[in-house]
Copies of this chain bind each other. A is one copy, B any other.
């Protein structure tokens, strides 16, 4: 029998779920550690183990029979990853890289040390620290961030004065805080790279992301009208970070596009919402390249296969049942690609996304084809949410 490797994926969400398709194509075998057998990924990966990613025994049990371990999220405790590594488990990305994605303080220190462009920031312990920092960067408002555990806008607070800062810092459930200058940016970008243990790396086209309340809503790929030099700078920053931090797999570098250049906002060391467009829009999807990277297989071509690709997130709305809405959406737009994550609908929860692929490269945000793709994506999502009924 042909022996293909087993990739263990910790976490049963949509990122693990979307790894299933390239694994099926390439014949790679996935093994999943999920919180529940009804998780989105558990529904589609036969070899699913139910267990707790915070429990080292569960992790050890799961890792047996896996050739390599990777992740749907960044929440596995670093000490567990180190314990697994020292007992011979291949952990990719490894804890020495992942800790920078897990801890915003460590990440900002390291990015500063390697000379990556970052906003002004400081580790803070008290409201008076925040006040001093604000004075240095031109005053309030500034941004407070919990160093650990934040995602999708959680763990981030815009504070307008000392009192608000004190209020946030009184949340003692998080281990620490950093404060950052409020960056005035024209838009948000994301530079995504894949890197293998042997050091090969590829850079995807830089995309524009549209965030609302800290949650990614839309992605335009490639970023419309982004100057070639700036795109290349963003790719080089991402490649540099991946190399310096020893990332294996996908690294997503969220960037602010400012008058003075790009600044690194956040990092993610796993397939990322800003890369869902690659399923239809790139020669090799982020999910395929993540699997290839963690297996140390040569990476696939990250180029766009279309002129412009638009992705619109589907967040839970009024409709409990997506499927009946497929009829209208598919009839209205035969080019619409719908992705559903197998999740129960809850308001605001990421339950799917839609993708539309266009022929020409948008040179600006006003490009007529881009505007049309965005309209169609938003319409589909509005209908699938139940916001509109025609």
Partner of A322, one of B2, B299, B331: B2
Taken residue by residue from 341 to 360, chain A's Cβ proximity to chain B (1 for < 8 Å, 0 otherwise) reads as 11111000001100001000
* CB-contacts of A310-358 with B (<8 A): 320-323, 326-327, 330-331, 334-335, 337-345, 351-352, 357
A49 sits at the interface (CB 8 A):
no
Partner of A334, one of B301, B342, B351: B301
Query: Looking at A20, A323, A343, A357, which has the most chain B CB atoms within 10 Å of its CB?
Result: A323
Q: Give every chain B residue within 8 A of A301 (Cβ-Cβ).
A: 334-335
Contact B283 A298 (CB under 8 A): no
Using a CB-CB cutoff of 8 Å, which residues 75-99 of chain A contact chain B? none
Q: Are A326 and B340 in contact (CB under 8 A)?
A: no
The minimal Cβ–Cβ distance linking A180 to chain B, given in whole angstroms, is 37
Contact of A297 among B25, B330, B357 (CB under 8 A): B330
> Contact at B330–A300, with CB atoms within 8 Å?
yes
Q: Does A45 contact B (CB under 8 A)?
A: yes
User: Given that A323-B2, A357-B305 are contacting pairs, would A27 and B341 also be in contact in the complex, using a CB cutoff of 8 Å?
Assistant: yes
Chain B residues closer than 8 Å to A5, beta-carbon distance: 323
A241 to B322, CA, bound (A): 34
Tell me which residues across on chain B come within 8 A of A357, comparing CB atoms: 283, 305
Interface residues of A in 13-42 (CB under 8 A from B): 17-18, 20-21, 23-27, 29
Q: Smallest Cβ distance from A353 to chain B, in angstroms?
A: 10
The interface size of chain A toward B, counting residues with CB under 8 Å, comes to: 54
**Given A27-B352, A43-B46, A305-B357; A298-B21 close (CB under 8 Å):** no
A338 and B26 within 8 A (CB)? yes
How far apart are A354's CB and chain B's nearest CB, in angstroms? 11
Q: How many copies does the complex hold?
A: 2
User: Which chain B positions have C-beta within 8 A of A345?
Assistant: 2
State A357–B338 Cα separation when bound (angstroms). Answer: 23
| A228 at the B interface (CB under 8 A) | no
Contact residues in B for A323 (Cβ distance below 8 Å):
2-5, 27
Chain B nearest CB from A201 CB (Å) reads 12
Q: Is A306 an interface residue (CB 8 A)?
A: yes
From residue 29 to 83 of chain A, which have CB atoms closer than 8 A to chain B?
29, 43-46, 48
The answer, among B46, B297, B300, B305, for a CB contact under 8 Å with A44, is B46
Q: Give, as a whole number of angstroms, the nearest-CB distance from A378 to chain B.
A: 19
Assembly CA distance A245 to B334 (angstroms): 25
Chain B residue at minimal CB-CB distance from A341: B27
Smallest Cβ-Cβ distance to A355: which chain B residue: B25
Listed A/B pairs (20) with beta-carbon separation below 8 Å: A4-B322, A18-B24, A20-B24, A21-B25, A23-B44, A24-B44, A25-B337, A26-B326, A26-B339, A27-B322, A27-B340, A27-B341, A202-B334, A283-B357, A292-B330, A297-B326, A297-B327, A298-B334, A299-B330, A301-B334
**Shortest beta-carbon contacts, A-B, top 10:** A27-B340, A298-B330, A298-B331, A21-B21, A301-B334, A46-B46, A301-B335, A24-B44, A25-B339, A2-B322
